[in-house]
Amino acid sequence: MLILSIETSCDETSAAVVKNGSEVLSNVVASQVEFHKKYGGIVPEIASRKHIEVINPIIKEALDQANITFNDVNAVAVTYGPGLVGSLLVGICAAKAIAWSLGVPLIGVNHLEGHIYANFLKSKLQNPKFPFICLIVSGGHTSLVLVKDHGKYETLGRTRDDAAGEAYDKVARFLNLGYPGGPIIDKLAKEGNPRAIEFKRPMLEEEFGYDFSFSGIKTAVVNLATRDPRLATRDIVASFQQAVVDVLVEKSIRAARAYNCESIALAGGVAANSALRNRLETKAKENELEVYTPPVKYCTDNAAMIGCAAYHKKASDLKLSPVANAKI
């Protein structure tokens, strides 16, 4: 089973070929970060236009790298949301056209479901066993999901305002550190003192359940840095990061214990964060839990994870979506 998958929900144009749901034959990603850098964030209109420019060559490259042609493709998968509407449409139109012309099924995949399935792509690690908790942390999302089985999810909590990655990006923009802010802060924080400033850990109290909030801490950083310009930037970002990581880890562990899960899986761009990985590993060990973290290339937006999710959809849902009736 060869699935050609396409992901264009945000600012990465990606196409992949995934064999039997787990083996990545190719995973081509064109990042637009250079075009959005000077604005300190993603400009949706630029994103859609850039997707249009590169979508066809990226798909061709994915087929070439996998050493196959369109005629070998058994199904086409595409992210149908959530994401930037203009960006999503580029991928969806391309996927529909290919599926229609080849006469193969078109499978729509939820972007967050795709992130979860990054944990099922073939790697040195085993796949997490059901049920498990998946912490999806990216520039657009922060969700804690109970994954009961293939295709069976329950969202336990999500951010009520900014996503974790968004907070990283906005703090970095305010401090003139560059874009995207996550990796820059991750690096700079290593030189700072994470206990220099005791930022409030937002919504950690049990009454907030598994929801998150990161916009307040972002404002706290801005206020503090404005009030006291002598504070070292490395200490500010280290302390900011510590507060964000503390909340993410604490809630993930709490959820795993409450729902009798043996493991926690990470997904999304912020899963690349070294402080988050380290803290989660330490806390998980204390609680006898296992942690699964996909390789970074599968944590950030990519089409391979979409192909993997689509395969499992097909396997568990025998009613394939014929092109004409596709849900998108």
Cβ(265)–Cβ(255) under 8 Å?
Answer: no
Minimum distance of Zn ion from residue 301's CB (angstroms): 4
Subset of 263-322 contacting Zn ion (CB under 5 A): 301
Sorted by sequence, the CB contacts under 8 Å of residue 230 that are 6+ apart come out as: none
Q: Which is nearer to Zn ion, 89 or 222 (CB)?
A: 89
Which lies closer to ligand KG4 via its Cβ, residue 91 or residue 180?
180
The one of ligand KG4, Zn ion, none whose footprint includes residue 131, by CB under 5 to 8 A per kind, is: none
**Smallest gap, in angstroms, from Cβ of residue 244 to ligand KG4?**
9
Per DSSP, the three-state class of 143 is strand
**Residues in binding contact with ligand KG4, number by CB under 6 A:** 19
Q: What x/- string results for residues 14 through 53 when contact with Zn ion is judged by CB under 5 A?
A: ----------------------------------------
Q: Does 168 bind ligand KG4 (CB under 6 A)?
A: yes
Residue ranges in 112-131 that form contacts with ligand KG4 under rule CB under 6 A: none
Rounded CA separation 39/57 (Å): 26
Helices and strands (H and E) in the chain: how many: 11, 10
Task: Output 137 or 171, the one with its CB closest to Zn ion.
Answer: 137
| Positions in 231-270 near ligand KG4 (CB under 6 A) | 268-270
Q: Whole-angstrom Cα distance, residue 190 to residue 250? A: 21
Exposure string for 250-274, b = 16+ CB within 10 A, e = fewer: ebbbbbbeeeebebbbbbbbbbbbe
| CB of 101 vs ligand KG4, minimal distance in Å | 29
Measured at the alpha carbon of residue 269, what is the angle toward residues 267 and 270, in degrees to the nearest 5? Answer: 85
Nearest residue (CB) to ligand KG4, 5 versus 321: 5
My answer on whether omega of the bond before 180 falls inside 30° of 0, hence cis, is: yes
Residue 68: CB atoms within 10 A of its CB come to 17
Residue 182 makes contact with ligand KG4 by CB under 6 A: yes
CA 320, CA 126: separation in Å to the nearest integer? Answer: 28
Among positions 58, 146, 264, 272, the unique one binding ligand KG4 when judged by CB under 6 A: 272
Q: Report the residue number, 235 or 301, with the smaller CB distance to ligand KG4.
A: 301
Q: What is the CA radius of gyration of the chain?
A: 20
Asked if 79 interacts with ligand KG4 (CB under 6 A), we say no
List residues binding ligand KG4 (CB under 6 A): 10, 138-140, 165, 168-169, 180-183, 186, 268-270, 272-273, 300-301
